[in-house]
Amino acid sequence: MTSAEGRRILVIKLGDFAEFVLAFGAFSAIRRHHADAHVILLTTAPFAELARKSGWFDEVWDDGAPRWSRIGKVARLIRRLRRTRLDRVYDLDNSVRTARYGLWVRDFWGNKAEWSRRESGLLARMRRSGKAREHYVEQLAGQLADAGITEFPLPDLSWLTRQFGGRYGLQDGFVLIAPGPIEEGSSDYWPVAGFVELARRVAIEGRRPVVIGLKSEAKTNQVIAAASPEATDLTAKTTLFDVAALAKRASVAVGNHSGIMHLIAAVGCPSVVLTSPAAEVHGHAPRGRYVVMVRNENLAELSVTEVAASLRLR
């Protein structure tokens, strides 16, 4: 048996940004359980900086999901997995892709690592049929419990907001608006017109609307910010750390269901998330201290009054 000091642990988490944020608790629990081990994360490039600054990992590999058509990159990843001595692997992705990784590095290749993976396949689906689907966080907690990690406390996310985020000269108490990518005419997104009217109401109440988003969302976000002379448009000007720092200081945040709303909710910002049953990924709602999911079969029909009523100050 390898000594605790010499143990090498691999954590696998690819997936999308929302799932990565929801896995923060699992990352923290693994690090706590293997305090003296060398913990490696296999992930993808968009998540690498977050992972490296979290303190949960000693090493981060960001080449975890090469395209299958890129034979050279796939081969390098396989070779890396086979040649790295691992004592345990926590596959938190639980995908078809990562199942293949497990097959590639089985005992046949000389790697004796224990693999933790959520039970899958036909028998598992039959046992779970008819039951309400667990939230993703509970799924991970159950998987870790089966692997012997029974302590799953709320993760300390102070690293997200304490060192890296900008302040942008804003006074605390603003309203963070994160519309996300909006497909006009779709029933799965609250439309731009709704956010425009909401920004007006927020300003009338004496609170500053602060709009955030990606460069690809700049056109619609500019329309929303222009609704109020008090609004601040930070679209394409923020890192993930900036968003977390802003969320920590905002009175409330509101937006369509998106990955960034998961991050905002995770750091404790009261969050109003707008979603349709069709668009919401069942079992993947944002988690945080105060999260309100406002659902409507057709978000285009959701009134500004209903959304405004869901906002809470802190």
pLDDT of residue 17: 94
- Percent of the chain at pLDDT exceeding 70: 89
- Which range has the worst mean pLDDT, 13-27, 180-194, 217-231? 180-194
How does residue 250 score in pLDDT terms, banded at 50, 70 and 90? very high
- Name the range with the highest mean pLDDT among 19-23, 101-105, 180-184, 283-287: 19-23
Tell me the whole-structure pTM to 2 decimals.
0.89
Q: Which domains are assigned to the chain?
A: 4-156 (3.40.50.2000), 161-310 (3.40.50.2000)
Q: What is the mean pLDDT of residues 43-57?
A: 96
Q: Is the pLDDT of residue 111 over 70?
A: no
pLDDT at 129 over 80: no
Work out the pLDDT band at 3, boundaries 50, 70, 90: very low
Model pLDDT, residue 244: 95
For residue 108, the model assigns a pLDDT of 61
User: What pLDDT score was predicted for residue 127?
Assistant: 42
Mean pLDDT of 200-217: 94
Q: How confident is the model at residue 162 (pLDDT cuts 50, 70, 90)?
A: confident
Task: Tell me the range of 102-106, 184-188, 221-225 where mean pLDDT is highest.
Answer: 221-225
- Tell me: pLDDT of 122 over 80: no
Given a cut of 80, is residue 138 above it in pLDDT? yes
Weakest-pLDDT range from 84-88, 120-124, 134-138: 120-124
| pLDDT band for position 282 (cuts 50, 70, 90) | low
What rounded mean pLDDT belongs to the chain? 88
**pLDDT of residue 94 exceeding 90:** yes
**Which of the two residues, 2 and 234, has the higher pLDDT score?**
234
Question: SS3 letters for the chain?
Answer: CCCHHHCEEEEECCCCHHHHHHCHHHHHHHHHHCCCCEEEEECEHHHHHHHHHHCCCCEEECECCCCCCCHHHHHHHHHHHHHCCCCEEEECCCCHHHHHHHHHCCHHHCCCCEEEECCCCHHHHHHHCCCCCCCHHHHHHHHHHHCCCCCCCCCCCHHHHHCCCCCCCCCCCCEEECCCCCCCCCCCCCCHHHHHHHHHHHHHCCCCEEECCCHHHHHHHHHHHCCCCCCEECCCCCCHHHHHHHHHHCCEEEEECCHHHHHHHHCCCCEEEEECCCCCCCCCCCCCCCEEEEECCCHHHCCHHHHHHHCCCC
pLDDT the model gives residue 103: 84
